[in-house]
Amino acid sequence: MSVSDFPCRVLAVIPAAGTGSRMRSSVNKQFLAIDGVPVVARTFCAFADLDAVDAIVVVASPGEERRMLALCEEYAPGRVNAVVTGGATRQDSVRNGLEALLEVDAGPIDSGIETVVLIHDGARPFVSPEVIARCIEGAMRYGACAAAVPVKDTVKVVDAERRVLSTPDRATLWAVQTPQAFRLSVLQKALRHVADSGFAGTDDTSLAEEAGIPVHLVEGDYANLKITTPEDLPAAELYALGRKRAGGRR
């Protein structure tokens, strides 16, 4: 099933306002180049290249809005609807992005057509159309979902002194990625709930979980890696070069 098969409006929020402290670089990791193309440009182009995505908003760090807008105009002219400033937390940034999406001229919200919101990390540049399609389908079917892959390694639960407390069954463990996808009404409900409760989640579906909304996982992709530490860049370069040689997307 392709992205174009879904009878819904698709809006994308791309949070790219993190500091990237683990990258140990003076340059925000969003702007680091992979085979000559900035990380965040690869990311928003993955959505801009899909006709079924109706509107895109990129959320930038304070002071980096103009630089981000210039990249959007260079790599995806006319496809990124707005660049907005991030908030103090991820959910604040997502809220800012969602508010901007609902203000842009991307079609009538109350048209009887379901609206799906995709939230995708700016530092995950290799998301595929297939993963995006599975997330849209999952949001339509369940209301809230996230891309994820089974954990390959054995995981240990430890205390503050790194003493092993337990070894969870690996079959029950999945590493969550993005996109994380929601029906618009579900995401709005989750954001209202955490605004009232003060809960701060580490990802977007945790907000839905906190609000008592069931979340399902859909199949992600091990290539959908997140650029987090310096060690991630060589792997990303190799993957990008391999995809280019194979005639794939940038």
- pLDDT at residue 105 tops 60: no
Structural domains of the chain, count:
1
Q: Is 174 exposed, middle or buried (0-12, 13-18, 19+ CB in 10 A)?
A: middle
105 vs 27, higher pLDDT: 27
Determine, yes or no, domain membership for 158. no
Average pLDDT over residues 109-135: 90
Confidence of residue 248 (pLDDT cuts 50, 70, 90): low
pLDDT over 90 percentage in the chain: 74
pLDDT in tens, 19-52: 666 666 667 889 999 999 999 999 999 999 999 8
Determine, yes or no, domain membership for 178. yes
Please report, as a single letter, which amino acid is at residue 202.
Answer: T
Residue 228, CA distances (Å) to 25, 29, 41, 149, 225 in order: 11, 8, 16, 18, 9
Determine, yes or no, domain membership for 199. yes
pLDDT of residue 122: 96
Determine, yes or no, domain membership for 165. no
- The angle at the Cα of 185, spanning 191 to 219, to the nearest 5 degrees, equals 85
246 vs 196, higher pLDDT: 196
Determine, yes or no, domain membership for 161. no
Mean residue pLDDT across the chain: 90
DSSP per position, 210-235: HTT---EEEE--TT-----STTHHHH
**Is residue 127 within 8 Å of residue 48, measured between CB atoms?**
no
pLDDT of residue 249: 64
DSSP per position, 118-160: EE--TT-TT--HHHHHHHHHHHHHHSEEEEEEE--S---EE-T
Indicate which CATH number applies to the domain containing 22.
3.90.550.10
Confidence of residue 18 (pLDDT cuts 50, 70, 90): confident
Confidence of residue 245 (pLDDT cuts 50, 70, 90): confident
- Provide the CB-side half-sphere exposure for 241 (13 A, CA): 9
Determine, yes or no, domain membership for 168. no
Q: Which domain holds residue 45?
A: 6-147+174-245
